[in-house]
């Protein structure tokens, strides 16, 4: 585009100090005028008040002399004037006319005449109305600053910041030159009254006019701005805009189908104006500048849900590029591993969004429950918690192929969490004496409400269990939870007995009961009442014959009981 020549501005310069002095003098003159008007109004008002008080005083004074005397006193000047006119008529026509003229003049212009009295009353009111009108007129005016540079007015602005913005814009326009251009401006501000026909000058227009005054070679062109920051000027902005739009469309086409809202994260704008010819940039160079990409090496930590494909896609890489940077991941990919990745960045980053469904886990809580399956005071996990699951529809935002944020659109819980149960032991049965100490594993509980050991396992008669003596009718409890295998009478010497099946091949036997409470097939818990102590069957006294069997082989019960032991 061809350059143009512009006229030189005038060289008269005024300082900002002169502007402030002029504004100060205008303010002082305005204040003086207002004070004078207020004083004139106040003086007139006080004078009128004084006159009214005088008249009222005279009225009350004359009232004391009587109404008739007051009337005569009030009309004495008029009566004297009438008497004079009568006397003048006797003296001749000329004398009568003179007396008549004096009478009319006194009535109109005398001390208490019509005009002077009216002036004293009307003048303060007129002054007040005038003052109010002046104030309203002044408040109704619009003021602005006229900016003058080198003696030439370059615009009308609302405040000084507009010129400072223009100065900054000029600085940006010339900073891309070789540095030989040095421009300096000393603005002078003048307060002006503006009308509806006047318009404020934009900072961009002021920047154009400042450049016109620079005596540099200029050209009409388009400034390219990225987020308001000047990056250069081109003659053909359509070519630049077309290439940038085409690049964005090509990038969008390379994305997957669920990608949407592809856009530049910075605003690119083009402003037509006056630019230094030395700052013009060829369109191809400007396009390369706006689309430039840089690559840097970064690090990332592998999360439990990561895969090599996902990590590569997240950082805008191919899987081959990721493996080339991290050869070990082919055989040793694991959570917590530190990987090298590429971080790509553009001069103007490109953003896009993807909508996807993501499954996440819901932590479970903890519930404490009392259970006789544990000895009193013992706490133990009796049921493990199960994580819940939820599926969320999320919108993920990527900038330069790297995730920068995500927004949850909706969430559906697909599996409720199951709380972890911690059992608090309530099992209380124990020997009648604290001197009975058994230091076994504690897998089974003491099966009788009290009692004492009357016969141990084994011995000379190959005793198959543990005899716990207690009064007839004493409660017998299940030593562990399980299923009742046998319940009732046994003709082989056990009398009334109960057999309970437990997990892992264990069985417990409770013999010689006076009566049985449990029934075959019943599910019982540890500490549940199953029978009462007796002496049925092959027995010499009331006691509970207690056996522990594993795969039907009798074991020493004392190895499974733990009572009164630390």
1-48 per-position pLDDT tens digit = 333 433 333 333 344 455 555 565 666 666 666 666 666 666 666 766
Instruction: Report whether pLDDT(322) > 70.
Output: yes
Question: Across residues 303-312, what is the average pLDDT?
Answer: 84
Phi, psi (degrees; rounded to nearest 5) at 54: -60, -45
For the record, the structure tokens of 25 come out as: 């003098």
φ and ψ at residue 35, rounded to 5 degrees: -60, -40
456, pLDDT greater than 50:
yes
Phi, psi of 71 (to 5 degrees): -65, -40
Residues 555 and 454 in one domain: yes
- Distance (Å, rounded) from C-alpha 563 to C-alpha 528? 18
User: Does the pLDDT of residue 511 top 90, yes or no?
Assistant: yes
Domain contains 6: no
Q: Report phi then psi at 180, rounded to 5.
A: -80, -15
Buried b (16+ CB within 10 A) or exposed e, 502-537: beeebbbbbbbbbebbbeeebebebbbebbbbbbbb
Specify the pLDDT at position 118: 56
Instruction: Kindly tell me if the per-residue pLDDT of 82 is higher than 50.
Output: yes
Considering the domain architecture, whether residues 331 and 368 belong to the same structural domain is answered as no
* Euclidean distance between CA atoms 500 and 525, whole angstroms: 11
Asked, for residue 5, whether it belongs to a domain, the answer is: no
Q: Average the pLDDT over 390-396 and give the result.
A: 91
Q: Are residues 304 and 266 in the same domain?
A: no
pLDDT at 497 over 60: yes
SS3 251: helix
Residue 126, pLDDT > 70, answer: no
Alpha carbon 272 to its chain's center:
38
- When mean pLDDT is compared across 9-18, 380-389, 414-423, the lowest value belongs to 9-18
500: confidence class by pLDDT, cuts 50, 70, 90:
very high
Cα–Cα distance, 340 to 330 (Å, whole number): 14
> Residue 370 and residue 365: Cα distance in Å, rounded?
17
User: What's the pLDDT at 110?
Assistant: 60
In a domain, 2, yes or no: no
**187 plus 276 within the same structural domain:** no
Q: Provide the mean pLDDT of the chain.
A: 80
The rounded distance, in Å, linking the Cα atoms of 24 and 26 is: 5
Task: Specify the pLDDT at position 410.
Answer: 92
More confident site: 540 or 213 = 540
3-class SS letters over 281-345: CCHHHHHHHHHCEEEEEEEEECCCCCCHHHHHHHCCCCHHHHHHHCCCHHHHCCCCCEEEEEEEE
pLDDT at 114 over 60: no
Rounded to whole angstroms, how far apart are CA atoms 54 and 117? Answer: 13
Q: Residue 268: which of 292, 245, 300 has the closest Cα?
A: 245
- In tens, the pLDDT along 232-286 reads 889 999 999 999 999 999 888 888 777 888 999 999 999 888 888 877 889 999 9
d(CA 247, CA 243): 6
Specify the length of the chain in residues: 566
Q: What is the pLDDT of residue 444?
A: 94
User: End of a domain among 216, 231, 246?
Assistant: 216
Pairing of strands 420-427, 366-375: parallel
Task: State the pLDDT at residue 91.
Answer: 63
DSSP 5: -
With 80 as the cut, is the pLDDT of residue 373 above it? no
Phi and psi at 492, nearest 5°, equal: -90, 10
Q: Is residue 530 part of a domain?
A: yes
User: What is the extent of the structural domain holding 314?
Assistant: 293-346
Give the integer Cα–Cα distance in Å for 201 and 306: 58
> Do 321 and 394 fall within a single domain?
no
- Domain-embedded: residue 427: no
Q: Give the residue among 282, 179, 292, 167 at the shortest CA–CA distance from 232.
A: 282
229-239 pLDDT tens trace: 888 889 999 99
pLDDT at 77 > cutoff 90: no
What span, in angstroms and rounded, lies between the C-alpha atoms of 386 and 420?
7
Q: Are residues 57 and 166 in the same domain?
A: no
Tokens of 539: 């027995």
Q: Is residue 9 in some structural domain?
A: no
439 and 557 together in one domain: yes
Supply the CATH number for residue 534's domain: 2.70.70.10
Q: Give how far Cα 424 sits from Cα of 376, 383, 430, 523, 535, Å.
A: 7, 12, 18, 20, 35
The 10 Å CB-count burial string (b at 16+, else e) for 84-110 is bbeebeeeeeeebeebeeebeeeeeee
In the chain, pLDDT over 90 holds for what percent of residues? 34
Write the burial class of residue 559 (CB in 10 Å: 0-12 exposed, 13-18 middle, 19+ buried). Answer: middle
Do residue 438 and residue 559 come from a single domain? yes
Rounded average pLDDT over 287-313: 85
In a domain, 7, yes or no: no
Q: How far apart are CA 203 and CA 209, in angstroms?
A: 10
Residue at token pair 């009981």: 561
Together in a domain, 409 and 357: yes
Q: State which of 195, 216, 237 marks the end of a domain.
A: 216
Q: How many CB atoms lie within 10 A of CB 446?
A: 24
Q: What is the CATH number of the domain that holds 313?
A: 3.10.350.10
Q: So what's the pLDDT on residue 390?
A: 92
Question: Between 283-291 and 237-253, two packed helices, what is the crossing angle to 10 degrees?
Answer: 30
In a domain, 10, yes or no: no
Residue 431 CB contacts under 8 Å (≥ 6 apart), including other chains = 446, 450, 451, 452, 453, 468, 563, 564
Q: pTM for this one? A: 0.46
> In DSSP terms, which residues pair with 468 in a beta bridge?
453, 544
pLDDT at 266: 92
Give the mean pLDDT of 512-537.
95
Residues 121 and 162 in one domain: no
| CA Rg value for the chain | 56
At residue 490 the predicted structure's pLDDT band, cuts being 50, 70 and 90, is very high
Residue 380 confidence (pLDDT): 85
The last residue of a domain, from among 106, 139, 172: 139
Strand spans (E) along 450-505: 452-455, 466-469, 475-477, 482-490, 495-501
Average pLDDT over residues 361-375: 85
- Inform me whether the pLDDT recorded for 406 exceeds 90: no
CATH of residue 415's domain is 2.20.230.10
Q: Are residues 524 and 462 in the same domain?
A: yes
Residues 27 and 87 in one domain: yes
Question: Which pLDDT does position 165 carry in this prediction?
Answer: 81
pLDDT at 60 over 80: no
**What average pLDDT does this structure show over 420-449?**
91
Residue 449: is its pLDDT beyond 80?
yes
Is the dihedral angle over the CA atoms 332, 334, 336, 337 positive or is it negative? positive
pLDDT, residue 391, reads 92
CA proximity to 507, closest of 549, 542, 562, 535:
549
Q: Report pLDDT for 13.
A: 38
Total of domains in the chain: 6
pLDDT of residue 244: 93
pLDDT grade, residue 157 (50/70/90)? confident
């Amino acid at each position: 585009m061809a350059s143009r020549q512009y006229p030189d501005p005038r060289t008269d310069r005024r300082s900002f100090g002169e502007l402030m002095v002029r504004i100060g003098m205008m303010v002082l003159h305005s204040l003086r005028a207002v004070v004078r008007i207020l004083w004139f109004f106040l003086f007139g008002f006080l004078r009128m008040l004084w006159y009214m008080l005088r008249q009222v005083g005279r009225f009350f004074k004359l009232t004391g002399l009587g109404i008739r005397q007051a009337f005569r006193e009030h009309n004495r000047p008029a009566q004297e004037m009438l008497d004079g006119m009568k006397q003048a008529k006797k003296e001749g026509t000329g004398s009568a006319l003179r007396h008549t003229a004096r009478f009319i003049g006194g009535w109109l212009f005398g001390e208490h005449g019509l005009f002077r009295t009216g002036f004293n009353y009307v003048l303060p009111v007129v002054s007040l109305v005038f003052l109010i009108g002046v104030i309203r007129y002044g408040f109704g005016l619009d003021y602005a600053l006229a900016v003058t540079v080198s003696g030439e007015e370059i615009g009308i602005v609302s405040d000084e910041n507009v010129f400072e913005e223009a100065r900054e814009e000029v600085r940006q326009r010339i900073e891309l030159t070789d540095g030989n251009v040095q421009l300096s401006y000393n603005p002078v501000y003048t307060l002006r009254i503006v009308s509806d026909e006047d318009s404020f000058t934009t900072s961009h227009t002021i920047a154009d006019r400042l450049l016109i005054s620079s005596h540099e070679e200029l050209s009409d062109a388009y400034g390219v701005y990225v987020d308001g920051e000047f990056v250069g000027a081109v003659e053909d902005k359509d070519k630049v805009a077309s290439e940038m739009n085409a690049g964005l469309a090509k990038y969008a086409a390379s994305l997957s189908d669920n990608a949407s809202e592809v856009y530049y994260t910075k605003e690119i704008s083009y402003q037509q104006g006056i630019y230094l010819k030395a700052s013009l940039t060829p369109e191809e160079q400007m396009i390369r500048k706006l689309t430039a990409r840089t690559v840097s090496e970064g690090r990332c930590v592998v999360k439990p849900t990561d895969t090599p494909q996902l990590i590569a896609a997240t950082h805008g890489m191919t899987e081959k590029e990721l493996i080339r940077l991290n050869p070990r991941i082919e055989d040793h990919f694991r959570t917590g591993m530190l990987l090298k990745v590429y971080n790509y960045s553009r001069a103007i980053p490109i953003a896009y969004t993807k909508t996807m469904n993501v499954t996440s886990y819901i932590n479970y809580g903890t519930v404490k429950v009392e259970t006789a399956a544990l000895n009193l005071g013992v706490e133990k996990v009796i049921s493990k918690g199960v994580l819940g699951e939820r599926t969320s529809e999320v919108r993920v935002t990527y900038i330069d192929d790297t995730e920068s944020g995500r927004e949850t659109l909706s969430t559906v819980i697909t599996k409720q969490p199951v709380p972890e149960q911690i059992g608090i032991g309530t099992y209380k049965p124990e020997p009648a004496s604290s001197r009975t100490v058994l230091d076994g594993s504690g897998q089974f509980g003491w099966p009788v409400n009290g009692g004492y050991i009357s016969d141990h396992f084994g011995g000379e008669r190959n005793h198959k269990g543990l005899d716990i003596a207690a009064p007839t009718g004493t409660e017998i409890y299940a030593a562990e939870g399980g299923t009742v295998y046998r319940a009732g009478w046994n003709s082989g010497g056990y009398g009334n007995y109960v057999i309970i099946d437990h997990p892992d091949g264990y069985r417990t036997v409770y013999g010689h009961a006076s009566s049985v409470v449990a029934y075959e097939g019943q599910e019982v818990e540890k500490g549940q009442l199953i029978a009462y102590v007796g002496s049925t069957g092959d027995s010499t006294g009331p006691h509970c014959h207690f056996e522990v069997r594993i795969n039907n082989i009798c074991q020493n019960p004392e190895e499974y009981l733990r009572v009164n032991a630390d």
